Every structure is written in structure tokens, then in C-alpha cells.
């Protein structure tokens, strides 16, 4: 009976694939799949996954599993009407086919991406997430300091996507979840504020 219980517990842990830390309780966090597009290289995506693995552990108190997928080409049908930018919502539509609550898809691109915003049909953005799709896309095209801030934008969109969480209710300038309000500035955003840290649940 005792041996059976041990085997059962081991099986549960293997299926869950997650580890608990002192900061947060883990209920089987999703695997995160990074989908690089076009000239966003495998090397860049793997380097980003290492950064995210460390940062996510600090922020969420949970160890996530990351997988880097083979590069894909952004097809012409994902572009805007003027063929000058790629539509972030169209990219998400293509990603969501492979996404689920246990499989979060994050598209990575150096290309300019846009969405309808502020009454304009084609507003350039850093990234986008759409509720219920378990997919998001992030571009570094508009970032001033890509090395310093790209992981923050990815974290921002991932939190919208995986946690069904909106923007920082305090509008805290240091909080990663602060609404960018159309500005590509993540310089002062370093972590979650106290309120967001308490509310965000993986």
C-alpha cells in the first residue's frame, strides 16, 4: 500500500512538471513555446529563453519549461492592407491554433507589428495578447534598448495571456504591467508592483 502511494505521488509530479518555491504555489504552470519568425534567429530565441527562465522564477516564484520552435516565415497574408507592417492580431490568429492553457505560444519578431488603436486602423505596437487565445506576439522593432527591455515586454504580454490579467491598477511607473499607453518605454519598469504581485496567479 505504501509503495503504491509513493508511485502515485511520483506519477502526479511527473504529469505536473512543475516545482514549488517559497514565493508562490504552483498548480502545473504551462509550457512556454517561443516561435521565432523570419530573421529572429534560433540563437536569439534560446538566449531569450534563458533570460526568461531566470526572470520568471524571480517574478512568479515558479520554474517554467521553455521550448524554442523552428523558425517560421511571416507570410504576406499576415500583413496590413498597405503591406508595410504585419498585423499582430493576424499573427496571434495563426499561433492560437497550436495554443492551449497548458501550451502558451509567444511569437518573436524583429518586424514592425500593428493593431487598430486610438481610432487608427494601423497603430504600431511592441506586442499584443488576445484574451482566450493563449497566444501573444512581441516585436523589438520599436524598442530603444532591446537588450535591456525585450524580456520585460515579453513578460508583460505573457502575463496578459497566461494569467488573464489586465494592466497595473496603480499605474505604477516601475511595474511591468503598467499600461504603456502607446509609448515604447520600458526603461523604468523593473518588476511587478506589490498589488500586481499579490493578484497575479499562475
Mean pLDDT of 70-93: 94
pLDDT higher than threshold 80 for residue 159: yes
Mean pLDDT taken over the chain: 85
Dist. CA 184–CA 44, nearest whole Å: 21
- The CB-based long-range contact list for 172-180 (8 Å cut-off, 24+ gap) reads 172/196, 176/59, 176/152, 180/126
pLDDT tens track for 6-35: 333 333 333 333 333 333 333 468 999 999
Mean pLDDT of 107-132: 90
**pTM to 2 decimals?**
0.84
Select the more confidently predicted residue: 51 or 122.
51
Dist. CA 96–CA 103, nearest whole Å: 10
- The share of the chain scoring above pLDDT 70, in percent, equals 85
Contact of 134 with 167, CB cutoff 8 Å: no
Three-state DSSP at 153 gives helix
pLDDT of residue 71: 96
Q: Residue 69 has what DSSP assignment?
A: P
pLDDT of residue 18: 38
pLDDT of residue 120: 82
pLDDT higher than threshold 60 for residue 70: yes
pLDDT of residue 202: 67
pLDDT of residue 20: 36
Mean pLDDT of 187-196: 93
pLDDT of residue 111: 97
The CA-atom distances, in angstroms, between 106 and each of 23, 25, 160 are: 25, 24, 12
Amino acid at each position: 500500500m505504501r509503495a503504491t502511494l509513493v508511485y502515485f505521488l511520483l506519477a502526479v509530479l511527473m504529469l505536473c512538471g512543475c516545482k514549488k518555491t517559497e514565493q508562490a504555489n504552483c498548480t502545473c504552470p504551462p509550457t512556454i513555446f517561443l516561435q521565432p519568425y523570419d530573421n529572429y534567429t534560433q540563437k536569439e530565441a534560446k538566449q531569450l529563453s534563458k533570460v526568461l527562465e531566470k526572470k520568471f522564477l524571480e517574478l512568479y516564484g515558479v520554474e517554467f519549461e521553455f521550448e524554442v520552435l523552428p523558425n517560421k516565415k511571416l507570410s504576406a497574408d499576415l500583413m496590413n492592407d498597405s503591406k508595410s507592417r504585419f498585423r499582430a492580431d493576424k499573427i496571434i490568429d495563426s499561433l492560437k491554433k497550436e495554443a492551449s492553457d497548458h501550451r502558451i505560444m509567444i511569437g518573436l519578431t524583429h518586424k514592425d507589428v500593428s493593431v487598430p488603436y486610438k481610432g487608427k486602423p494601423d497603430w504600431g505596437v511592441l506586442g499584443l495578447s488576445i484574451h482566450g487565445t493563449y497566444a501573444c506576439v512581441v516585436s523589438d522593432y520599436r524598442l530603444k534598448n532591446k537588450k535591456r527591455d525585450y524580456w520585460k515586454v515579453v513578460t508583460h504580454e505573457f502575463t496578459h495571456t497566461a494569467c488573464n490579467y489586465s494592466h497595473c491598477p496603480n499605474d505604477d511607473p516601475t511595474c511591468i504591467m503598467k499600461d504603456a499607453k502607446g509609448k515604447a518605454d520600458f526603461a523604468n519598469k523593473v518588476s511587478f508592483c506589490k498589488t500586481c504581485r499579490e493578484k497575479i496567479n499562475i
